[in-house]
Amino acid sequence: MVAVNDDTARFRAASGPSGRRPLVVIIDNYDSFTYNLAQAFARLGPEVEVHRNDRISVRTLLRRGPDYLVVSPGPGRPGASGRSGAISDVGISDDAMATLRGRVPVLGVCLGHQILARQLGGRVVPTGVPVHGKRDRVFHDGDGIFAELPQPCVVARYHSLAVPPDSLPAAIPVCAWNGDGVVMGLGVPGEATWSVQFHPESYMTPEGDRLLAAFLDGVICAPKRGRSAGSVTVP
């Protein structure tokens, strides 16, 4: 069942055990893929709410009591001002992620991945050649949200910005990368906080539901898991 208005969309799985479902809140950065992401989560059983990044405050978000936070893809850039020069491209996404990290599992997707990278001290730069609607092979450390994925796995990429691995602190593990060494996934040691540059909800990411299911399991990133930032190598 789906209920939609200008501010919020709610998705409920069609079947499942009775009683309260865990709540996944997705912050929508005005991206057409957001509702695909919401439907992918709903298929796995939880209730899903989607809130646009400028239509809800962090305080209101906390009152909703989410069990999980997901920060969506989007056309903006982390830290960039909007057209007004006063409103960020990402709305509350940055603050929401910073506030809820360590409290509930958090997942950043594409733009959400870049937001997390900046929070961790990394930079976000143009890729040189935009990559939109391209399948790619991604290698990973085989742990956390990547534990059930084949090695390598096939994913869908839609982005023109990326995180240079050498811009991240050494303590932050690069959990996934492609054949060119582009950072494709991050984890925060000691937290159930993860991010992916690719789109797990896309039909071009065949194992995406496995990654989302692992995220819903609340897996925690272990210290020094994955390739250390700045030393990504291609197998």
Q: Where are the beta strands (DSSP E) in 104-152?
A: 106-109, 125-140
Cα–Cα distance for residue pair 94/196, rounded to 1 Å: 16
3-state DSSP percent of the chain in helix, strand and coil, to 5: 20, 30, 45
User: What angle do helix axes 208-216 and 34-43 make, rounded to 10 degrees?
Assistant: 70
Q: Is 199 annotated in the active site?
A: yes
Question: Is the bond into 73 cis (omega within 30 degrees of 0)?
Answer: no
Evaluate whether 92 touches 136 at the Cβ level (below 8 Å): no
Backbone angles phi, psi at 39, to 5 degrees: -70, -35
Cα–Cα distance for residue pair 209/190, rounded to 1 Å: 24
Q: Is 201 annotated in the active site?
A: yes
Residues 113, 153, 199, 221: which is the catalytic one? 199
Cα–Cα distance for residue pair 216/65, rounded to 1 Å: 16
Residues 47, 49, 51, 110: which is the catalytic one? 110
Q: Is 159 annotated in the active site?
A: no
Residues 113, 159, 201, 221: which is the catalytic one? 201
Backbone angles phi, psi at 62, to 5 degrees: -65, -35
Cα–Cα distance for residue pair 71/213, rounded to 1 Å: 16
Catalytic residues: 110, 199, 201
